[in-house]
Amino acid sequence: MHWTEMKKEELERQYSPSRWSHRMSADDVIKAHVKVLTEGTERARRLAQTLLNVPYGEGDGEKLDVYIPSTSSLDVSLVIFIHGGYWQFLSKDQSGFLAVPLVDKGVVVVAVDYDIAPKGNMDLMVSQVRRSVVSVVEQYSHISGLYLCGHSAGAHLAAMILSTDWSQYSVTPQIKGAFLVSGIYDILPIVSTYVNEPLKMTEEVAVRNSPSKLVPQLKLSSSSSPPPPCHIVVAVAENESPESHKQSEEYYKALEASGLNVTMEVVLNTDHFSIIEQLVDGESHVTKLLLKVMGKS
C-alpha cells in the first residue's frame, strides 16, 4: 500500500520507530537510547582530546564538537556525525559516542549541532549542516578523507548534504563516503503526521528537502572534472516498520540507477535505536561497516 492510501493512524504507526522495537516498550526504548548515547559521549570526552562548542556559524545552535585521536599523523580521516531525533530532539551532547572506537583508529570525529524544531525549520537545518561541512573543510585542510554518518533524521540531513550544489559555497568538499543509517529520504509522508507539528512543514518544503527527489543533483560537480567516487552505504535495521524499509530501499535504488557507488545493508537483530548504538563498540557489525566505508576495515 502506498503511504497516500493509509489512514492517519496507520501512517503515524509506520513513522513511529519506537513502536517497532522487539526489545522493550516504545517509551522505554527511547529512554534507554538517550542513556546509551549520553554515556557513550561522556566516555568519548574522557578518552579523546576534545574541542567543544566550536562555532561554524553565527547562530547559537551552530556549534560542533571535535574528538581528536592522539596521532601525530597529518593524514587523518574525519567523520562528521549528524544526530537523529526527528529534527526536534537530541543534540551534539549525545553525538560523540561513536568516537569511542574511532579515535583508537586515528579517526577525527565531529559531532554537529543544528537548530532543532520548533526553533529551527527544515530549510534552516539543511542549510546549517551544509555550512558545518564547509567550516570543517576550511578548518581541517589536511583531511585525507571526509566522511558523513547520520542516523534517522540525521541520515536525512546527511543525504541532503550529498545533494548540495557546492557552487554556491566557498569550497567543494570532497566527500569520500557516507554511512546513512535508518534514514527518511522522502519526507512528504511526515507532513501528514504528528511529527510535523513542531516542524510545520508545507508539502513544498518537504519536496525540496527530500533527498530521494534530488538524486540527479548528486552527479553535479562545480568543476569540469567528475567528482571522486563517494561510497554510500544505506543501512536499515531489521526490526523497523515496512515504510522505513521502503524508504531505504527506494533511495538505494534511485542512487544505484544514477550510477553511484552505493550498497544497501539490512542489519539483523537490530531496531531503529540499537543499530546506531552499536557504534559504541569497536567490534560491532555496524562499526565495522562504517570502517569499511572509510577503507579501514
Location of C-alpha cell 593524514 = 75
State how many domains the chain has: 1
- What residue spans of the chain are helical by DSSP H? 8-14, 26-47, 99-102, 122-139, 153-162, 196-199, 203-208, 242-257, 274-277, 285-293
CB count in 10 Å sphere of residue 231: 18
Average pLDDT score over residue span 207-227: 70
Neighbours of 103 (CB within 10 A): 22
Backbone angles phi, psi at 70, to 5 degrees: -90, 55
Our CA dihedral for 263, 178, 159, 271, rounded to 10 degrees, sits at 70
CATH number reported for the structural domain that contains residue 24 in this entry: 3.40.50.1820
Q: Which residue has the cell 513513522?
A: 15
Query: Grid coordinates 527511547 are at which residue?
Result: 30
C-beta contacts of 247-252 below 8 A and 24+ residues apart: 247/183, 247/184, 247/185, 247/186, 247/212, 248/182, 248/183, 248/185, 250/185, 250/186, 250/212, 251/159, 251/180, 251/183, 251/185, 251/186, 251/211, 251/212, 251/215
pLDDT tens digit sequence for 144-181 = 899 999 999 999 999 999 999 999 998 999 999 999 99
How far is residue 136's CA from residue 267's CA, in Å, rounded to a whole number? 30
Show the domain range for 175: 3-293
* pLDDT > 50? residue 228: yes
Task: Give residues with Cβ within 8 angstroms of 130, minimum separation 6.
Answer: 160, 161, 164, 169
Indicate the pLDDT class of residue 76, thresholds 50, 70 and 90: confident
Distance CA 150, CA 107 (A): 16
pLDDT for 141: 77
pLDDT-derived band of residue 72, with 50, 70 and 90 as boundaries?
Answer: low
